[in-house]
Structure 1
Amino acid sequence: MEFDPKTPQYLTSDKLSFASISANERWPVIITGAIDDLHRTVVGVNDDEKANEGKGITANLAKLKYELQHDRQLSPIDDDGHPDIASYNKELEQRGNPHWHDVPWLYAECYLYRRIESLFAMSKHWKGYDVFARQKMNTFKSSRPAVLELAARYRDIVIEAESGKAKDGKSAEEVEAAERLLFSEMCEICLWGNATDLSLLTSLTYEDIQKLQGSQARKESQKNIIVNDLDAAFDAMQRARREKKDGERRVDIVLDNSGFELFVDMILAGYLLSAGLATSVVLHPKRLPWFVSDVTPKDFSDLLSSMVDPQAFYTAADESGKTFPSLSEKEISDVKFLFNQWSEFHQDGKLILRPHAFWTAQGGFWRMPHDAPELFEDLKESELVLFKGDLNYRKLTNDAQWDPTTPFTEAIGPLGPKSGIRVLAFRTCKADVVVGLPEGEDEKLRALPGGGGSESRKWAWSGKWAVVSLSDGKA
């Protein structure tokens, strides 16, 4: 806490913020879903000892839900052998042992998932069980149309780029302009990935890029990116490519959601490697089930496993018995192309998975230089560190009540100017905190229907609006 900014954080007691809605409405539903998932699994267990232990964990989840709904004090997390428990409990004490409905939102939400994990970590038979895994894979399976569409477009781009045809008869300026547009296309698909927005795929061909004409859908989506530093990010990567032509140029992606969003993150990683904008990509998942859908190492392997035999994965009957039409030979080939390319990148050490306990700590990233100095130093080796999603943005800014015109570079504190880290945040807005806006922009958005008016910043809760914010800590 001593390394956090002085700007106060959002509290679950603030009835005009999304923090209160999360605590009162979303969290009980999430715990109920976890209880239902575990119950369904326990029913199919033949080992009595394991089944009874599972029932005990279910009862403890129900107890947690009761405490939350009845505004009990947050209790110390039982020690499951991991060193972060001491830090969680120390901060709980420093915060005066608060109640669920009057506590900093960021701390309480991290505490919630860490406490759920401790129930499984302390068990004999249920260590590593992910109550959200079933939901993650079902969601990915439901994204079948988007996966197939994007796989086909991506394959065409890679083949054309590797053949050199994309540069035939073009000046260096024309090639760079086309690369810039393609970089923006890929990044915007990655940005909106958790919305599974197929409309963004309409212009993802070299034909359109060579004409330097984005689709109408892309232009429409760009209107909703209220801060957009993609051009500056591309410029930085281009400079690195020129200055370190034969050297190591690493990009890091601090991951957000699994399923289709992880799929588009992988698309972006593969594109950066294929296009020569990066020589390696380091992916940072969470080490434990987190915020329902965040990526764990197992989610990464599950994604690749689904692509080994896409026909089997996408045509298997769901839990209701519903069957699905077969994939065409081309669709199978397109998905396997991705699998083979990503597997090769992984085997060659160009695509690296690197979990770290800091990503599931209870505080913001202002604490990184002190709490995880080795991670902080490692990120300095990267040309670009891409932080995906709303939670990472909240942690970058300490989920604090900044004035929305506060510069992003200021709001991220020690990860900002002169840090040695080039930070790029991709975020669709799903929480109150937002920075880097032009004067008057917040007021304009609040004045829209459902925008919240003078009372709240409701426009920032829905995911309709996005920010792409760069802080060049290497400048």
Structure 2
Amino acid sequence: MSKTSVKSPPSPPSKVSSKSASIVSQTKNDSDEDEFKTKPDFIYGGPFIPVEKPSPLLGTSTPINMPLQGTFKKSFAYYSLIERLPVILTKVIDYCSREAASIKSSCGASDQDLRAFIHYVSKLKNDLVTNKKYDLLQVDTPEAKKWNEWIQAAPNQYYFTNTWVFSECYVYRRLREGCELNKTLANFDPFQEQKSQAFLGTVEPMCVVADKLVTMLPESEKDKRKADFITLIKICLWANKCDLSLSVGNQVTLNGNETVNSAIMDPFQMITDLKDKLLVDDTAKAADQIMTKAENMAKAIEGASVSIEAPPPAADGSEEQESPKVPCPAKMTIPQYVMFDIVCDNAGYELYADLCLAHFLISQKIVQKVRFHVKKIPWFVSDVTPKDFRYVIEQCRKANFSKTVPQAPKPDAVEGESPPQPVVVTADNLRRIGDQWAQFLEDGTFIVMCDDFWTSPHIFKDMKKYDYNLYRKLQFAVAVMFKGDLNYRKLLGERNCSSVLGFEAALQGFIPAPILAVRTVKAEIICGLPKGKWDQITKIDPDWMRTGDYGVIHFCAKAEPLKAAERPCPDYGDQCKGVVCPT
């Protein structure tokens, strides 16, 4: 069937058990009565007769221009809700039972605390697989109150029949609430062990990338700078294969196979090997336009620099002075710095690749600062939190790795010729760049931000409505790189658009700054493909949109002009007095 009508991906993978499928067919409502039947009608002189009603779950794939949701039983959204998410929750329960002693020791939790948390997660899992109505959050925080407002405003408040992104985000927010309800578990990350193991399993490719990165950092001429920029974006792309949410927490290797001890895991070779799997490649356009815009922004900042008068001395004649003044963020129409933003996805090796790109942009003086947008709470198993960000840098600083691989003689080697030198990989450069990243974090060259919006269920075209201040923050960037599949789904509005729809049109007006979307394909949503490409790949591999084996790199150069804010700045609100404010 043509992609321009309705996608027809295959049924969910064979590992979907009949038991799990039957759970959904037996879905019950809050009164524990069959949701898909009416109450029996009593017929005078006869038996109670059940009257069948149509099931809201349809045995089709997701139609074009429809939201992704569990309603469609041949969709990856349905498979994720019935199989992947329950397995992830089960692993959390198993981890808490298996490692109870260490969790209690590190958190100061009691047996009762852990039992309460396990009970909470077990109920959440049961509610999910039986398609119950969403429960409201119980914790009393402003953010939780917003969630409850969103739940109550949702046109559909059931796991399978609401949008997939809302239900997924709701499950992870509820998982976090299970920790919040027990004070001793307030800082507990149920995915920390999995993330740590994933990091340790990718130290070798990190060392390989570090050895190459140090040759890219000295300032270089334009063509080499562009080529290195393109290479590092592609390193970031294929690093997105390391997704613990897709693998339901199972450890994955960068190349998708078991590591071979006799070979070096080389991410740069992956770029060549996977060239045909990169379906959209806007890297050259992105590199050119980001570097050009960065140069123009630097000139504008220099030209607009206003000398802020030194604050007057204190009234009593002492040397103590008021805080220095800076331009008001709400009034500013030209940023103070040339900044590149990265909306992060996975921790571990993927974050490491993002840090390498950021280091390159700083060292080549393309930008002055890089802002990393991470999740405030544990999210989708392996998403980056501030704690994960610090962990990756510290682990790089103290990495200890060494591997020597002998090289086979060349087929045309002359007799008596010395054999080729073995390849030696060490962590020396990895430690060196880790130290530099720690310094960048200390001096503000790297900035970590974790706004609540990133853990909300909202698609990005609605960002201005739900978090105007974050939208304005993004407008200060020379470009924003969105990483991974969840960000991609939110960029495209969680809507099954035509595969040939252009990236700019698919963004539906969300253009706070030029946008670079870097993602390996792990869900049935995509845009920007050449005509006929979707059908061609689907004939070869019907499951290709679920595996993460293919990738896209989109770039949209358009951006909404940066104007004075429509609202007071969030720091001083209605107390704002003018164009300058305290630091």
Q: TM-score range by the shorter chain?
A: 0.7 to 0.9
DSSP 3-state at the match of 2:499 = coil
Alignment of 1:44-443 (within 5 A): 44=102, 45=104, 50-78=110-138, 80-96=139-155, 98-158=157-217, 161-162=218-219, 166=220, 175-195=221-241, 196-197=254-255, 198-202=265-269, 217-245=270-298, 247=301, 248-311=337-400, 331-416=426-511, 420-443=512-535
2: CA distance, partners of 1:283 / 1:96:
34
1: CA distance between counterparts of 2:236 and 2:476? 23
DSSP 3-state at the match of 1:383: strand
TM-score normalised over the length of structure 2: 0.68
SS of the equivalent of 2:184 reads coil
1:383 touches 1:422 (CA, 8 Å); kept in 2? yes
Aligned to 1:236, the other structure's residue is in SS state helix
Measure the CA separation in 1 of the matches of 2:361 and 2:239.
17
Aligned to 2:557: 472
Q: Counterpart of 2:519 in 1: which secondary structure?
A: strand
Residue pair 1:286, 1:297 contacting (<8 A) in 2 also: yes
Is it true that 1:16 corresponds to 2:83 in the alignment?
Answer: no
* Number of aligned residue pairs: 419
Deviation digits for residues 115-137 of structure 1, max 9, x if unmatched? 00011112221102110011001
User: 2:306 corresponds to which residue?
Assistant: none
Greater share of helix: 1
Q: Please state how far the C-alpha of 1:437 moved relative to its aligned partner.
A: 1.7
**What is the distance in 1 between the residues matched to 2:153 and 2:443?**
46
How far apart are residue 244 of structure 1 and its match?
A: 4.0
Deviations 1:381-416 (A, max 9, x none): 100100000000001111102111222112212313
Q: Which runs of 5+ in 2 are unaligned?
A: 1-63, 242-253, 256-264, 302-336, 404-422, 561-583
Deviates more, 1:242-251 or 1:436-445: 242-251
Q: Give the CA deviation at 1:287.
A: 0.3
Corresponding position: 1:40 with 2:98: yes
For residues 85 and 400 of structure 1, what CA distance do their matches in structure 2 show?
A: 26
Shift in Å, 1:49: 6.1
Retained in 1: the 8 A contact 2:515–2:557?
A: yes
Q: Report if aligned partners of 2:283, 2:553 keep a CA contact under 8 Å in 1.
A: yes
Taking the aligned partners of 1:181 and 1:308, their CA distance within structure 2 comes to: 28
Give the 3-state SS of the residue equivalent to 2:509 in structure 1. helix
1:278–1:77 Cα change, 3 Å: same
Superimposed CA distance per residue, residues 111-157 of structure 1 (whole angstroms, 9 cap, x where no aligned partner): 00000001111222110211001100101101121112112221233
Query: CA offsets, 1:414-437, max 9 Å, x none?
Result: 313xxx411110011101111122
Q: Deviations over 1:224-267 (max 9, x none)?
A: 11111111111112212432456432100000000111111111
**Structure-1 separation of matches of 2:488 and 2:424:** 41
Call closer, same or farther: CA 1:149–1:58 in 2, change over 3 Å.
same
**Shift in alpha-carbon separation, 1:405–1:57, aligned structure 2, 3 A:** same
CA deviation after TM superposition for structure 1 residue 97, in Å: 5.2
- The 2-side partners of 1:229 and 1:424 are apart by 9
Aligned in 2, Cα 1:96/1:218: closer, same or farther, shift over 3 Å? closer
C-alpha spacing 1:244/1:411, structure 2 compared with 1 (3 Å):
closer
Counterpart-to-counterpart distance in 1, 2:450 and 2:148: 23
Q: Are the counterparts in 2 of residues 425 and 469 from structure 1 also a CA contact under 8 Å?
A: yes
Change in 2 beyond 3 A, CA 1:201/1:22 = same
Task: Give the partner amino acid of 1:303.
Answer: V
Mapped contact 1:155–1:337 kept (Cα < 8 A): no
| Structure 2 Cα separation of the partners of residues 267 and 425 of structure 1 | 17
**Deviation by residue 1:305-344 (Cα, 9 ceiling, x = unmatched):** 2123223x999xxxxxxxxxxxx99824212211121122
Matched position secondary structure for 1:415? coil
- Give the aligned partner of residue 415 of structure 2: none
SS in 2 for 1:66: helix
Amino acid aligned to 1:347: E
Please tell me the residue identity of whatever aligns with 2:524.
D
Residue type of the partner of 1:189? I
Q: Secondary structure of 1:156's match? A: helix
From the superposition, tell whether residues 306 and 121 of structure 1 become closer, same or farther in structure 2 (CA, over 3 Å). same
Does the CA-based 8 Å contact 1:428-1:463 persist in structure 2?
yes
Cα distance in structure 1, aligned partners of 2:492 and 2:90:
30
Q: Percent identity?
A: 27
Counterpart-to-counterpart distance in 1, 2:402 and 2:131: 43
Q: Secondary structure at the match of 1:8?
A: coil
Query: For 1:143 and 1:405, how far apart are their aligned partners in 2?
Result: 35
Other structure's SS at 1:343 match: helix
Letter in 1 for 2:175: I
Match of 1:170 in 2: none
